[in-house]
Every structure is written in structure tokens, then in C-alpha cells.
Amino acid sequence: MKKIALLSLTILAFMSVAFGQAKKPIIMVVPSDSWCLRNGFVQEFDNMGTPISVPDYSAALLKDPDIRAMITSLSGFMASEGYPLQSLEQELKRIQNESAEMAMMMGKQSGGGIVETPIERLRRTAKADIILNLDYTINKLGPNQHVEFNFQAIDAYSSKIISGITGVGDKISTTSSILSCLQAAVLDLKDGFLDNLNSYFYDMSVQGREISVTLFRYDSCPIDFEEEYEINGFYAELADIIEAWFADHAVSGRFSLDSKSANRMRFNQVRIPLTTVNPINGRETPVDANGFVRDLVNTLKKSPYNLVVGRTPKGLGEVWITLGDK
């Protein structure tokens, strides 16, 4: 029994040292979709005839001082635990300036403009590893009030829930600060939340993080995924060659081939390293889905394939590869 206990302590100590040496994930705190919807902070967009609603973070931060204070407080709490932060407010300001420039752009041939919603732009440009969704409701009963809250840490790459806190704060007077009540409740539950967060990111540092990759074929492409090529004296379909590339480049060869046909392939749960060496400057840099498939895209452009290949990032954790056009 003593040997088992000693071994357990040794393993825990090793994990603590290993995680301490690893770079901690970048956190961005945002109001949850549910909170934005309940409080009327949404934007309506027409998506090819179908109306869609997306959170309006800018309006929420501008018009609701409570959510702004909550985000600032929670960001400060994560910073005090050693997690680097990306500011939602500053990122939105940067996007606003970028949008003004994009509004001035038009295609050289068609004269068309660039179409992208603010939430799409945020998901495309934000470099946070983990999104911390903040949701809360204030309930009042006579002279007292209490806050029901829900925090969810979500992997920005795979959209998986990593850790969460759900609870109800103590009853306080309606004249007291909800923020202080929420802070106290979070402190009471923080240990389990951070343990889950640390364990998840440690696993990523060893096993790799998950992304998705989808390959499409334009009708202008001269070949499909069933085209055969001779590789090392062996004839194989392009789909099998691409699958072999993922086996060689995914961490420990871990991925799932979700679907395969003559015109489309989709890979899920592709494990990629947290960092890679950029072939352009030789520096070690963080890698996302778009960066991970750079080598595959370059391979398909060369002999014997000689294809026109495009890649379109769909956020940090998903990328589309198109054959036959960009």
C-alpha cells in the first residue's frame, strides 16, 4: 500500500512539473449565447434567406455595466491563477477598425464586397485557446436577491466543454453588490474548476489538441479522390494517400476518418501538436488547423498531383481544403 501511495505521489509530482513547464492556455471570457439572448444583445443576419441571430458582444459591453464588471472580475481571477488572457473588449475594438477597412474593399473584377459577420470575424481572428462562457441570472425576492451562475470553459478548437461551475450565490440585500456575491461563490468552487482545466491542457500538451479537416472537390478539378497514383511502386487512390499523410503527421497517428467519397473527405478528432516549426522562418510557433495542413496543401500542389489547392480556415480548429480552385 505504501509503495502504491508513493508511486501515485511520484506521478502527480511529475505531472505538476511537466504542466508547470508547459505554456498555459490563453483564456478569453465572453458572455454566453444564452445570456445575450435573454438580455436582447443579439444581431440578426440573413444567411441566404434564413435569418440567424448571433451575440452582440459590443452592445453588451457598452450598455450593460454589470456584464462588463463580471467579465473584468473573472478575467482578473484567471490572470491571478497564471493564465494569460485575451481581452474580448480590445479584440472587438480591433475588429471594428478592421471592419471599417474591409468596408472600403471591393473585388477588382466584380466590384463585390467582403461578407463576414462580427461573430465570424471574432472566431476567425481570436487566438484564445479556451473560451470561458459566463452566464448568470439575478433573482430578487423582497429585500433580498441571489445570483444563479454558470461558467463553462470550452476548447476554442474542438468546441468541447472542458470544465464548468454551476451554483447559486448566498442571499444578499438588494442594496449589496451582486459582483461581490459572485466572486465569493466562484472562490468557493474554483479548485475543482482549475483542476479540470489544468488536466485537460496537460493532456493536450502530451496527446495533442483536436481539430477537423474537410476536403472538397470543385467540379473544375480534373481528378477526384478515387484517382490512382503510383507511390513507391504501389498504386493507391488519392483518398488513401491523404489518409496516410494524416497518419504520418497527426500526434501518435490519432485521427478519425468521418466520411469519404469521390468528391469529399472529412477528418475529425485529428490530434495536432500545440506548436510547430514554421518552415518559412524556422521559428517555433503555435499551430492551428490552418497551419497544420500547410504541408498537405503544398504536397498536393506538387508532382505527381499538380493540383490547384485552396485552404479556408473556419476558426482555429477547423479548415476546409478545396481541390481544383481556391
| Domain residue extents for the chain | 24-102+113-206, 208-323
For residue 122, name the pLDDT band (cuts at 50, 70, 90).
Answer: low
Chain-wide mean pLDDT for the chain? 81
Helix, strand and coil percent figures for the chain, each rounded to 5: 40, 30, 30
Helices marked H in the chain: 2-21, 33-38, 57-63, 65-80, 88-102, 118-125, 178-207, 238-249, 289-292, 294-301
Q: What is the mean pLDDT of residues 216-239?
A: 93
Whole-number Å distance between alpha carbons of 271 and 251 = 5
Find the radius of gyration of the CA atoms of the chain.
24
Predicted local distance difference test score (pLDDT) of residue 121: 61
Predicted local distance difference test score (pLDDT) of residue 99: 61
For residue 127, name the pLDDT band (cuts at 50, 70, 90).
Answer: confident
For residue 76, name the pLDDT band (cuts at 50, 70, 90).
Answer: confident
Predicted local distance difference test score (pLDDT) of residue 98: 65
Give strand pairing partners of 230. Answer: 235
Helices marked H in 175-219: 178-207
Predicted local distance difference test score (pLDDT) of residue 100: 58
Q: Is the pLDDT of residue 123 over 70?
A: no
Whole-number Å distance between alpha carbons of 277 and 88 = 28
The distance between the two most distant Cα atoms of the chain, rounded to a whole number of Å, is 82
Q: Is the pLDDT of residue 80 over 60?
A: yes
As given in the structure block, the three cell numbers for residue 199 are: 488536466
The residue count of the chain comes to: 326
Domain 24-102+113-206: state its class. Answer: alpha beta
pLDDT, one tens digit per residue, over 286-320 is: 889 999 999 999 999 999 999 999 998 887 899 99
C-alpha distances (whole Å) from 231 to each of 239, 246, 300, 311 are 13, 16, 13, 24
pLDDT, one tens digit per residue, over 101-115 is: 555 544 444 444 445
Cβ atoms of residues 128 and 156 within 8 Å: yes
Q: Is the pLDDT of residue 198 over 70?
A: yes
The better pLDDT of the pair 299, 184 is held by: 299
The better pLDDT of the pair 275, 247 is held by: 247
Cβ atoms of residues 322 and 214 within 8 Å: no
pLDDT, one tens digit per residue, over 249-293 is: 999 999 999 999 999 999 999 999 988 887 788 888 888 999 999
Predicted local distance difference test score (pLDDT) of residue 280: 81
